[in-house]
A = this chain, B = another copy of it.
């Protein structure tokens, strides 16, 4: 069994490993968890003793198979709770993160199985992120950043790269939600801004926005 703190470290390392492909540095972990590198070193030793990470001094850290499975299970719980909050309890997609951050640590296999079934075995959370299955596997769908689309290309909005409340509220205001079809009308080279067609309306999109929105072509 893992403590709250250990679970948060595992989850952070898991997320960092997904786009890293090498040992995760103590500094990177410290930054994500808003703590100090020295605290990370301490915790990594504990996790290493528990055989969920492999740790070589000064060489960063990687999850073991057990560590990956444990972390994926926490992410699974987080995302299933997010679906529950949005689908059943009228939360909007910008309100769920902090609550799910608490709920992901509830320990009850039956609870999460039942939530899964109650929701009809969803495969993605309200932000388009895949929900790991019981074995920790997740099937990623083919998706591209809106910023990589070319002029006249179309696609469906399937996810966000930034789940901050501010960004999500901004998307709401602009009428951009998951499932919406959009087409790139214009693409400005000098600032990377776009003009897109969505719901028959023309919309100006900054490069920052286009870099945080996933599209399925």
Interface residues, chain A, with chain B CB atoms under 8 Å away: 85, 88-91, 95, 98-99, 102-103, 106-108, 110-111, 114-115, 118
Contact = CB atoms under 8 A, between A and B. Distances in A.
A54 B110 CA distance: 40
A168 B112 CA distance: 23
A85 B99 CA distance: 18
Nearest to A103: B106
A115 B88 CA distance: 9
A118 B85 CA distance: 11
A35 to B, nearest CB: 19
B114 A89 contact: yes
Contacts of A115: 89
Given A103-B106, A106-B103, A118 B89 contact: yes
Ranked 7 nearest A-B pairs via Cβ: A89-B114, A99-B108, A102-B106, A99-B111, A90-B114, A89-B118, A103-B106
B114 A107 contact: no
Nearest to A99: B108
Contacts of A114: 89-91
Contacts of A85: 111
A60 to B, nearest CB: 32
A215 B95 CA distance: 43
